[in-house]
Amino acid sequence: MKRIKYYALSAVLLLCGTGLTTSCSVDDNPVAPSLEEQEAIDNRNELVRHIDSDAKTMADMFDVESLNVAAQAYEQLSAMMEGSKDFMTNMKSLLSTGSMRKAVAGISPVTSGSELAKMGYLMYITVDNSGYGIQVVFDGKGNCRLSTAKNLEFIFPADIKGIGYTLFKVIIKDGGEYYQTVSEANIPNVKGVACVNRFPRSLTMTLTGFIDNKEQTLSETVIGLELPLNENSAFVSLDAKSFNITGQQHSYSASGKESTLDFRLNSNNGNMTLGYGYACDGTSIVDCVALMRLKQQGGFIGQISADALNVADIKTVAIRILNDLTLSGTISDGDTFSQNFASAIRNRQPVSSPDALAGIVESLNQSSDFQLSCRQMTKAEVMKFCVTEKDKQYIIEPALKDLNSDKFIPISEIVDAQTMENFNKPFSMSFTPGGNAAGSALNVYSALIKMMPLND
């Protein structure tokens, strides 16, 4: 899944992050508000109070450094695996040839009355896609060298912001539990032989970097797969349209903080849930979840091998900060919204004309419906997008409804500067670090699945 769209969740947080910061104006000649108006004022004040407190906590605890290192390293490794002119072909051929050679040497008769016997097979072989002792060394120029090793290892150069250009290593081990698929073995002039493909339910990926002349552990990631087992069967189907992929990544920074990133991907007959949660030193900072409908309902192998998710619409999306501030809503056209969000992010830098941004804002507002809330609020506030101008420069900003009219006020006109700075701090080094880290790790996982000879 070359472009797993975790950014579609976390991009909302980046673009709207400063939209979670508001303040109230003061009227020199106040008029007694109605009960409805007073409720709106109380809601806004409550929102401001929670935002100010949460922004300070988030700015102090959000460890962008460790997330960025892991995200960039896995992203560059994934690019090398996908972009190398000979890696995927040679690796898959090596794994397939090695596994098949061992399997054919161990050809065995099918037990009478067994599931394989009921399928009509007389003999079977087992192809074991686990425990490979292969080391892959990339040179950063599209070339790789393969040799024997204790586990599956990747050594590669990467240029990481804050660290520089150095060598990194990923060691991959399986968790010891396995799924099995069955198909007819492709053996010339031999019929009736079942090929039992065995592959791990979980993988552990340990990322280390050679920093300051020594090897340091930067992150540890465990990714698990759940496929449905057919009733009274020992085998799973790779065409299953329902599956779960879950992961947890522990990252370690030079400051001594430990970041934990939980991510999950659940597919159920064309409906997919994407999510990730980020915690630092045991405190939940951000949790993002989106339920979406796909245009094409492919099975596990088809979806994990696809270059992109074909999103028809995002039924619900929710981003929660510190188990308090919540941005939630629906998106009617997932692909269009993602494209416009990408444009909005690029246009966070001021431009000289509002015309290029007007269409993006209109499309964002037409295809989405967002609300902002926090604990102890009696009613959520509607959030939209707008184009704002300062010193003849224009940017896209979130906007909240003016308490005294039907207009929406851009954040730049009502935001508290210090709170805005606190919210921007976590994103100052990178765009959506949590989403990038989750997506990059899953991209490496999907590349590993694709190179296993599961469909051969």
141 within domain boundaries: no
β strands within 105-201, DSSP E: 108-109, 123-128, 134-138, 144-148, 152-160, 164-174, 178-184, 193-200
Q: Which two tokens stand for residue 192?
A: 């009736």
Is 64 among the domain residues?
yes
**pLDDT band (50, 70, 90) for residue 292:** confident
Give the pLDDT confidence score for residue 143 in this predicted structure. 83
Compute the distance between CA of residue 53 and CA of residue 362 in angstroms, rounded to an integer: 32
**Mean confidence (pLDDT) of the chain:** 79
Q: How many domains does the chain have?
A: 1
pLDDT digits (tens, 9 = 90+) for 164-198: 899 999 999 988 899 999 988 877 777 888 988 88
Interval 393-424: pLDDT, tens? 787 888 888 888 889 988 777 767 788 777 66
Q: Helices 87-105 and 433-451, interaxial angle, to 10°?
A: 50
Residue 2: its pLDDT value, please? 46
**Residue 233 is assigned to a structural domain of this protein:** yes
Cα→Cα distances 37→42, 44, 80, 156, 397, Å: 9, 11, 58, 60, 25
User: How deeply is 331 buried, as exposed, middle or buried, from its count of CB atoms within 10 A (0-12, 13-18, 19+)?
Assistant: buried
Domain that holds residue 227: 7-23+43-83+211-451
**81 Cα distance to chain centroid:** 18
Angle between helices 87-105 and 64-83 (to 10 degrees): 80
In terms of Cα–Cα distance, which of 335, 317, 256 is closest to 16?
317
In a domain, 308, yes or no: yes
Rounded Cα gap, residues 223 and 175, in angstroms: 9
Q: What is the pLDDT of residue 429?
A: 40
**Which amino acid is present at 69?**
V
- Look at residue 186 and tell me if it is in a domain: no
Residue 290 is assigned to a structural domain of this protein: yes
Instruction: Tell me the mean pLDDT in the region 118-129.
Output: 87
Q: Which residue reads 């465990």 in tokens?
A: 222
| pLDDT exceeds cutoff 70 at 350 | no
Q: Is residue 378 part of a domain?
A: yes
Note whether residue 32 is domain-resident: no
